[in-house]
Structure 1
Amino acid sequence: MSTTNQNNAISPESAWISRFTEPLDQQDGSQSSTKRALEGLCFAVKDNIDVAQVPTTAGCPDFRYTPLESAYVVNRLLKAGARLIGKTNLDQFACGLSGTRSPYGVVPNSFNPAFVCGGSSSGSAYVVATGQADFALGTDTAGSGRVPAGLNNIIGLKPSKGLISTRGVVPAARSVDCVSIFARDVATAWRVFLAACAEDPEDPYARALTLERSSFPNALRVGIPDRCEWFDDHLSEACFRKAINQVAALGGTVVTIDYSPLRQCAELLYESALVSERLEVTANFVERNPDSLIKPVYEVLKKGASFSPIDVFKAIQSLRNLERQSNTMWSSIDVLMVPTVPRHYLIESMIADPIELNRRLGYYTNFVNLLDFAAIAVPSSIRADGLPFGVTFIAPAGSDFRLAELGARFHEASQLCLGRTDQMLTEGISIPRPPGGDRKSWVRIAVVGAHLRGMPLNWQLEACDARFVAESCTTPDYRLFALANTEPQKPGLVRVSPGQGQCIALEIWELPISNFGSFVSQIPAPLGIGQIQTLGNGMVQGFLCEHYALQEARDITHFGGWRAYQEGRVP
């Protein structure tokens, strides 16, 4: 395996792969004087995102191709008035968190060029931090949209999966890929997010996820890990203690959570058969062109080829079990706050030990997309050695507005300069709520049995123009029973005293309020509609059962849900 393609030259110019002599823009074709949403802003995109008639390299010259069309998200931003000024460097095939794995050179940290910038969206973070672009697009699979933000004192907005189309993006691991947004302040990142969001009918991973439009509660419960790992960096440890005080000053109550399920989930991304997805697009290229790959990238991809199909399904099962364990934390917290990275690393140290030190950079990021969470990385303070320290706020999918609003408040309270510039944050800028004026005309309903996707009565939801929102589960205060003499067979969900139940899997759907009455009229006794307390989605109307029907019913709570019971799976 050749390593001659790795370029260890460190230079600010390494941030760019293609820089345009004239910015690309797109006129909307109208004579209207109305200002477009992103007019006046210039941006860059990571070079695994297509721009029409401009080569895409994904950090690998031999993989280079020239697309005829721009990525869906790029077109949306251009139509919104933003001007594109270039394409940025990245860890090859977006495989890395350091910014040192590119034949186009090493992108340095914007505060100290001896240290890593972070990756894989290294160039995008650097050009934003140094004021060369107002915002930039990255991608985020394991943390590539957050790690370089934390290392360079900027915002890294990692949206809920499926909100921003990934069509026209070279996949890293398609099922967990997100397009991310870098900016020097939350308000700009949020403007870009609103312009970028749209359900792409040609993206199989796009989804119509209704965003939560309310703020976090005033009595905010902020979770932090019960045990933080710093890898012997006491400066970052001190900064996180300061961050805890900062969020408490905003009215948050700090709650310690069991971090072990999240840590175990993070390890699955590269240490289990889930890493095999990295080969979905590149397998043929890697097999035919092994010398085109940088050594640590090749080692990761080669590892993906070593697993069997059985290993993949075992890994998926492990993920599902950890997902259930992890989601229990939302019953005691509203948001999770973690260090974005545990520490900074010298470039020479990273090059000398690329696998282990890269793994450490993802300690607090790798689990987020696997568990379908939204996140925003926010600057917190400057360490005693002059390097930035940042935190990441994490919440369930659909919490993007809440996270942006909290992130903006936290960032303002930090009183830091913006990125690596002398600019200061404008105080008092509010984060506008996402569109959703028709939200009141829709009602959410939680289903636990025969109305689940693929189950016999799901058609009743579809007939009422209902749309799927999310998988979720109850708080651990419910029991589930298989009811007798029902056709098709149905379960009954009942609420019980604290300590007597467990979390029960469910799905959340939305249907037009005009169709709600007709849907409910089809529900036979002993079932009815009541309020169900869910993890991460608050109180939702859903199917409950009258207690008299339990006398002849079978208690199936230990299965954790109706689907698992039907399939005979006990966790």
Structure 2
Amino acid sequence: MDLFHLQEGYRAGRFVPRQVAEEVLRRISERSSRAEWIYQVPKEELMARADHLESLDINLPFYGIPFSVKDNIHVEGLPICAGCPGNESISTTTSPVVQQLLDMGAMLVGKNTMDEFATGVVGVRSAPHPVSPINPEYIPGGSSSGSGVVVSNGCVTFSLGSDTGGSGRVPAAMCNIVGFKPTPHLLSSEGMVYANKSIDCIPVFARTAIEADYVFRKLMVGNKAGCLLADLPHSQNDLVIAIPDEKGLKFFGDTEAEACFRSVLETLENQGARIQPIDFSPFSEAGAMLFDGAFISERFDSVGEFIKDNPDAVNEVVAESILKGEAVTHHQIWSDVARLNQLKVEAHQLLAPFDCLVMPTAGTLYRCDEVKADPLALNRNMAYYTNFGNLLELSVVSVPGRMRVDGLPFGVSFAGPKFSDYRMLNLAKQWERISGVQPGDACDYDNVG
């Protein structure tokens, strides 16, 4: 399902969209389950879309490319419940980003499972919930859990998630794929069930950085903000990289994760990069504000009334987290906004001398039963390196960094200030070429054609 393989195959006449759609359905039946899909486009509708594409220009950017979306993104005529079946309705509009992809020839396969109301980064707050495609005892990452898994196991070429505090990056790390979270508001976030509307953004999941880069760049065509993006080429041999200082680095007792991160840094240094620790406290302080500060009130504004009216329909941990927002005062909101503005200045000043900030996507990973036994503390640990990303207006891409000794994946993130999106993707592509890590769930998948 590699994007460029499909493009080349279409243009060479080796296969047509109907054959790719049939292969998608075969893969879903063999490699996927109901746990990853809230809704699948019926076979006859998917085939009709495939047949229609044969009347269109084969050079459309996404001609016949299969993709899926997280189930908090609206697609007209399709059900949407944001991970909570009791909240289901039929969408009357389509997200502008989804519409762009459809207009450019993409084939929508379905909508993916997510943590209820996009609350948390663990991926087990839905019923049924997906599991790691690499080891089913482990979490898939969330809240875009299904969107990460179906890319990892090769059922679709790419998928769209949502990212508030890490939901476009933690699933990528847990599923051994790429998750790119753009600068907030570069891509339209209209047409979503929001977690935090002021900072929510739509990330791209793909097996490789070069595919994620292609998807993002095509979505940016005609975008007036595109002129703001820095696209300066860099090579690893002249990079100046920031990393969290020793006080800021946390692996929560996971020595294998720490060894993987040290190995990533060693590889970068061997390529000529210069690495310097920076004060990580502005980042960690900002991250703590997402759930422990006044910003939780924005989640309550989005879905709080539904939760109050339907307490038995919502995951207990999700409900507890969101309902805290009802008690937030206006004074607390403006106080936190003022503090966050200070932290933005501090964080961007710290990043200014560097090409990027390199950090673990997650400092550890957990089994599903561990998270269910201690949901709040372990979710907080998983989000330590991600919660601040949108609050501080960063561009971040998570890529496979290493495979651990125990066979589980370790993801590493390249982060930069707002509008450094192309630069972060370029760095991710360079890392991909030198890391030696094969993406996905390590199966030897056959190619269409």
Q: Taking structure 1 as the reference length, what is the TM-score of the superposition?
A: 0.69
Residues 159-192 of structure 1 show CA distances to partners (whole Å, capped at 9, x for unaligned) of 1111211111111101110101000011111121
Q: Secondary structure at the match of 1:179?
A: coil
> Is 1:212 the equivalent of 2:230?
yes
Mapped to 1, the partners of 2:291 and 2:204 lie a distance apart of 24
Q: Aligned residue for 2:101?
A: 77
Q: Secondary structure at the match of 1:167?
A: coil
Structure 1's 27 and 71: CA in aligned 2 closer, same or farther, altered over 3 A?
A: farther
Number of residue pairs the alignment of both structures matches:
408
> Is 1:369 the equivalent of 2:393?
no
Aligned-residue sequence identity (percent) comes to 36
Mapped to 2, the partners of 1:65 and 1:288 lie a distance apart of 16
Residue type matched to 1:53 in 2? G
Deviation of 1:422 (Å): 3.9
Deviation of 1:209 (Å): 5.8
Residue type matched to 1:222 in 2? I
**More divergent stretch after superposition (248-257 vs 391-400):** 248-257
Mapped to 1, the partners of 2:213 and 2:49 lie a distance apart of 20
The structure that is strand-richer by fraction is 1
Q: Secondary structure at the match of 1:173?
A: coil
Structure 2: runs of 5 or more not aligned: 1-31
2:242/2:351 contact within 8 Å kept:
no
Deviation of 1:21 (Å): 2.9
Deviation of 1:249 (Å): 3.0
Residue type matched to 2:196 in 1? A
1:142/1:362 contact within 8 Å kept:
yes
Residues 476-507 of structure 1 show CA distances to partners (whole Å, capped at 9, x for unaligned) of xxxxxxxxxxxxxxxxxxxxxxxxxxxxxxxx
Deviation of 1:387 (Å): 0.1
> Is 1:134 the equivalent of 2:157?
yes
Mapped to 2, the partners of 1:33 and 1:197 lie a distance apart of 20
Q: Aligned residue for 2:183?
A: 160
Q: Secondary structure at the match of 2:111?
A: strand
- For 1:388-537, list aligned pairs within 5 A: 388-422=409-443
1:223 to 235, 242, 247: 242
Deviation of 1:327 (Å): 1.6
Higher normalized contact order (CA 8 Å, seq sep 6+, divided by chain length): 2
Residues 238-279 of structure 1 show CA distances to partners (whole Å, capped at 9, x for unaligned) of 000001012223331111111111111110111111111112
Residue type matched to 2:156 in 1? A
Deviation of 1:291 (Å): 1.8
Larger Rg belongs to: 1
> Is 1:147 the equivalent of 2:170?
yes
Q: Aligned residue for 2:88?
A: 64
Deviation of 1:26 (Å): 8.4
- For 1:309-320, list aligned pairs within 5 A: 309-320=330-341
The structure that is helix-richer by fraction is 2
Mapped to 1, the partners of 2:323 and 2:121 lie a distance apart of 18
**More divergent stretch after superposition (209-218 vs 230-239):** 209-218
Structure 1's 297 and 177: CA in aligned 2 closer, same or farther, altered over 3 A?
A: same
Residue type matched to 2:276 in 1? V
> Is 1:291 the equivalent of 2:291?
no
Deviation of 1:280 (Å): 2.0
Mapped to 1, the partners of 2:405 and 2:389 lie a distance apart of 29
Q: Aligned residue for 2:21?
A: none
Structure 1's 162 and 28: CA in aligned 2 closer, same or farther, altered over 3 A?
A: farther
Q: Aligned residue for 1:335?
A: 356
**More divergent stretch after superposition (11-20 vs 173-182):** 11-20
Q: Secondary structure at the match of 1:140?
A: coil
Q: Secondary structure at the match of 2:89?
A: coil
Structure 1: runs of 5 or more not aligned: 1-10, 201-205, 425-571
Residue type matched to 1:79 in 2? D
Q: Aligned residue for 1:503?
A: none
Q: Secondary structure at the match of 1:392?
A: strand
Residue type matched to 2:433 in 1? E
Mapped to 1, the partners of 2:273 and 2:251 lie a distance apart of 24
Structure 1's 283 and 415: CA in aligned 2 closer, same or farther, altered over 3 A?
A: same
Q: Aligned residue for 1:520?
A: none
Q: Secondary structure at the match of 2:187?
A: coil
Deviation of 1:421 (Å): 3.9
Residue type matched to 1:353 in 2? D
